[in-house]
Amino acid sequence: MRVRFVTTKGDPVEAEGAVGLPLLEVAQAAGMPLEGTCEGQMACSTCHVIVAPEWFDRLPEASEEEEDMLDLAAGACRTSRLSCQILVSEALDGLEVRVPPDSHDMRGR
């Protein structure tokens, strides 16, 4: 499935992800600076992404645990999600998400 990431600098990056993969893995494979420190345990929020508004309502709803972690994520907004909790599916072909401005490894460039 195709996913479009928008980097902290605003550049679009097209990526391909296999159905069933967490969006976090697709993002990392595409070189996005998402740490995903806890590997999907919902204990870090370093996999935070901002979903394009037109896509947000099409995603399965966030669990309460995810909402709680998002409250702690820096720069979180209304369409924020944890990318480790979103599984790539046919319905999400063309999904667009933005990497939040404060994501780590872009620093110092």
Binding site residues, ligand FES, CB under 6 A: 24, 36-40, 42-47, 69, 82, 84
Q: In which region does residue 75 sit, left (phi positive, over 0), alpha (psi from -120 to 50) or beta (all else)? A: left
Q: What is the closest distance, in whole angstroms, from the C-beta atom of residue 58 to ligand FES in the complex?
A: 20
Query: Which of 10, 20 has the CB closer to ligand FES?
Result: 20
- How far is Cα 78 from Cα 31, in angstroms, rounded to an integer? 25
- How far is Cα 45 from Cα 42, in angstroms, rounded to an integer? 7
Query: Which of 72, 91 has the CB closer to ligand FES?
Result: 72
What's phi and psi for 88, nearest 5 deg?
-65, 130
Q: What is the closest distance, in whole angstroms, from the C-beta atom of residue 50 to ligand FES in the complex?
A: 14
Q: In which region does residue 41 sit, left (phi positive, over 0), alpha (psi from -120 to 50) or beta (all else)? A: alpha
Closest CB to ligand FES belongs to which residue?
A: 84
Query: Which of 1, 80 has the CB closer to ligand FES?
Result: 80
Q: What is the closest distance, in whole angstroms, from the C-beta atom of residue 45 to ligand FES in the complex?
A: 5
